[in-house]
Amino acid sequence: MSEAPVSIFFVSVFRTDKRQVVASEVPGADDRMADRAAQVRELQLAMGRDLAKVEDTAHFVLRGCGSMEEYGGRFGLDPEQTRALLNLARLEDSHPQLIEAVKGGNTDAERAGLAAKVLVIPGAVKEGDDWLAWVEDLTRGRLAWRVDRRLEELRQAPEKVSELNLVVSRQAKEDFARARVLASKKAGKALSKGQTFGVVVDDYLERYDEDRKKPRPRRKENTEDDPDSRYIPAEVRREVRKRSGGCCEFPGCNHEIWLYYCHLTPHAAGGCREVYNVVHFCGRHHFMLDVGIIKLIEGDANAPVFEVDGKRVAKSRAPPGASNGPPPSRGKPIDPVSDQPPDVVRERTRWPAPGHARVRLRRSGMHTREHHARY
């Protein structure tokens, strides 16, 4: 009487966090998976060597393909995968440790091919780089970031490269891709995303930034000679922006977008439009200066000392390269809103239009202040 073969399966039951997990042993599964994964890696390396021969001989042209990425697509490879296998094959002689890491299963061909985008470029590896360790240890996202940054450093000066993360709409992303195509055509070479971003920003600033415009000769030597005009010369505006650094000049304020050119001595009181009488203020501090909440008590626009609620407020130091000039004391100084009780109405001569306005200003942590003013 013959005996039939008997297969024995082990069933383990685990209990964790009040949940029951039933796991069954599959005999030989680990060994088979290891063997097949090794075969896949060997096939990927062999495929990369074939792709390298196809590129070297331009064989892909005979198949009607315009690029290696298109040729790889004929066989089910996406463009990134094709380029990764191709670059990896070209490292077999120069970086055998990376190839051995792929064969041994310490990393996969996709990650190694990602690093190969840098390693195939002569001079791209810098002192202190350890691409083998990065390929084995870093996540794919962090590895891709290192690769993209190094490629951008090679296209531009390393000290000029800085990371910028943006979240944009889908339409903006499509428009940026189109802008990259147009910018590359104009430059006569394929531009990276970073280079394209720089080109687009530079073009916008060239169109709209006053600091980019070529300075012209000043039409009037001194605005004090023309008290009726409110025009601030371009040279004065440029000097004020240089002094302010594109930020509100009131100490402690960091507003950068909505800025105005404000007269310390009001135009109605004979204040000129020179650098020493014009400050760069945000809308809120401009308003406070107009209604008298902020007062200039010393200096001029280059080194002002203000008073707010009886306290002195001044910059920690005078701005470098500030233009010198007489203090803004020409004309009869006026206080648009006095410290008298609210029922006393003082005339504001800055705006000659008739009428009254009741100004109510709320400030965090302070009492509400009400002022009456004629505008």
Structural domain count of the chain: 2
Q: What tokens appear for 343 in the block? A: 């029922």
Shared domain for 244 and 338, answered yes or no, is: yes
Shared domain for 60 and 136, answered yes or no, is: yes
pLDDT at 194 (0 to 100): 87
Q: What is the pTM of this model?
A: 0.53
> In terms of residue numbers, what domain contains 242?
223-374
Residue 143 lies in a domain: yes
277-321: pLDDT as tens digits? 888 899 888 888 888 888 888 877 788 888 888 888 876 544 444
Residue 230 lies in a domain: yes
Residue 187 CA to residue 14 CA, distance in Å, equals 64
- Where a domain ends, among 134, 160, 186? 160
Please check the confidence at residue 370 and state whether its pLDDT lies above 90.
no
Shared domain for 153 and 232, answered yes or no, is: no
pLDDT at 316 (0 to 100): 53
Residue 146 CA to residue 228 CA, distance in Å, equals 60
- Residue that has been written with the tokens 């070479």 in this structure: 189
Shared domain for 232 and 150, answered yes or no, is: no
**Which helix (H) or strand (E) is 236 found in, with range?**
helix 234-244
Shared domain for 228 and 313, answered yes or no, is: yes
pLDDT at 196 (0 to 100): 92
Shared domain for 144 and 274, answered yes or no, is: no
User: What is the residue-averaged pLDDT of the chain?
Assistant: 77
Shared domain for 368 and 254, answered yes or no, is: yes
Residue 155 lies in a domain: yes
Shared domain for 252 and 113, answered yes or no, is: no
Residue 173 lies in a domain: no
344-368: pLDDT as tens digits? 333 333 333 333 344 444 433 333 3
Shared domain for 228 and 370, answered yes or no, is: yes
Shared domain for 235 and 369, answered yes or no, is: yes
- Where a domain ends, among 106, 137, 160? 160
Shared domain for 146 and 282, answered yes or no, is: no
Residue 260 CA to residue 241 CA, distance in Å, equals 10
Residue 218 lies in a domain: no
Residue 166 lies in a domain: no
Shared domain for 367 and 227, answered yes or no, is: yes
Please check the confidence at residue 85 and state whether its pLDDT lies above 50.
yes
Residue 38 lies in a domain: yes
List, in sequence order, every beta strand (DSSP E) within the chain: 11-16, 19-24, 259-263, 278-282, 294-298, 305-308, 311-314, 346-347, 356-361, 369-374
Residue 183 lies in a domain: no
- Where a domain ends, among 112, 140, 160? 160
